[in-house]
Amino acid sequence: MKCPKDRPYDLIKKVYKILQPFQKMLIGFSGGLDSTVLLHILTKIRRLRRTNMELRAIHINHNLQKKSKLWEFHCKKICELWKVKFLSRNVIVRSNDGGTESASRAVRYKEIRRVLLPREVVLVAHHIDDQAETFFLSLKRGSGPSGLSCMRFITPFYDTKIIRPFLSFEKRQLKRYAEMNNLSWIDDESNFKDIFDRNFLRIHVVPILNDRWPYFTSSIFKSAELCRKQEELVSELIEPYFLNVLDHKDGTLKIKKLLNFSAVKRDAVIRRWFKFHNLSNPSQRQLHALWNNVIFTKRDSQPELIVSNRQVIRKFQDSLFCCKKFIEFDEDDLIWNLSDDITLPGDLGRLTVSYGRRMYSQKEGVINRVRKPRVDEIVFIRFKIKRKKKVRVVGQKNRSMKEIWKQHKIAPWMRRRIPLIFYDSKLITMLDYFVTEEGDVSPSVENDQVYIRWIK
């Protein structure tokens, strides 16, 4: 007896209903069965419903298989046949602690983000079977309700959303649709190698469970949904406590206030903080390391916990900071002609410059206004300055750099990552923090002022 969902038009109706609010869509298109069915359904909706749907497909070539170029060519031809704009990106995957699958996923979504258009949503073809595998992998890691809630139909993705229209459908239903519509797709040979955890579950575990209990994967989907609702309730209850310990200016967490909570509440608040900074949910091991190796260290120490390839958690005074992992760089002086923009070393961003009187919006961030250098003055960008050096900030008395760092709560690891503009040996400005009397300019002198913006 056929399941009603096996009827192709039911699949089309369900996808159409989910995607009705959206017009611009970018489909992650591997060329496999699942994404081929999704792309075919979208082109059918576009034709049958005569909508203004704007479709693009992106294929990420991870260069992990010998046939990867052939797969890319296959995807391009399918898109040409179905009149869908095709994008392809070649990437290099460097395996990390989470393995090749995790590294591939990170690179894939990074490339997707780069090509997104305004108001465009991302569509991926995950289904119930994928959800079941993710559930088991979360169990293996000892995850709580947050991890066990697995994937969601709609997930925030920077300024847009990732949508999974097939999340309530099984793989067999997608395969039946593909066969009834005579679709061709790629079979990735690596999917049949059980050395990968997900493949092991797909090949050896889930089929046995489904044979014993035919609706097992559907039950996992329901359990994941219950975990999601439980997690949403916890998040709702914990939010006031989180906001109370969060510094809204710099996104740091106030340790003293955190210590007033019970251990269970503290961990929940930290998980919420990880989410606030777009980090993966912390494991129990990470939470343990954070408390013992970072929070409970001496006040003047500089401990850190690496939580991803690009992020690290540090402690300064009584606050926890979530920072980018630093790229070491040569701290030698840079000479700047102050006529062109300049890229800073160490992934510190770039400086832009403009002259004369100008208006700017708050969206542009801090604009540093200083006097124009004299003809005989050389402009330097430096990153090192002695802590005892006396500086006279505009409108203030002489103070040491140590006192200024303390006033602005600038952590030790940031002190050599803030550009300092010098004219010859005279400090003019520490960008985004202060201008010295040597660099001050009268607002009425239109042709004697320079505007410097630090784009991080």
Q: Is 361 annotated as a binding residue?
A: no
Q: Is 35 annotated as a binding residue?
A: yes
Phi and psi torsions of 366, nearest 5°: -75, 130
Q: Is 34 annotated as a binding residue?
A: yes
Q: Is 99 annotated as a binding residue?
A: no
Cα–Cα nearest to 38, from 177, 195, 156, 188:
177
Q: Rounded CA gap, 310 and 121, in Å?
A: 25
Phi and psi torsions of 149, nearest 5°: -70, -15
Q: Is 30 annotated as a binding residue?
A: yes
Q: Rounded CA gap, 130 and 133, in Å?
A: 5
Give the relative orientation of helices 128-140 and 216-245 as an angle to the nearest 10 degrees.
60
Cα–Cα nearest to 49, from 8, 19, 71:
19
Q: Is 427 annotated as a binding residue?
A: no
Contact 89, 107 (CB under 8 A): no
Phi and psi torsions of 157, nearest 5°: -140, 95
Residues annotated in a binding site: 30-35
Residues annotated in a binding site for ATP: 30-35
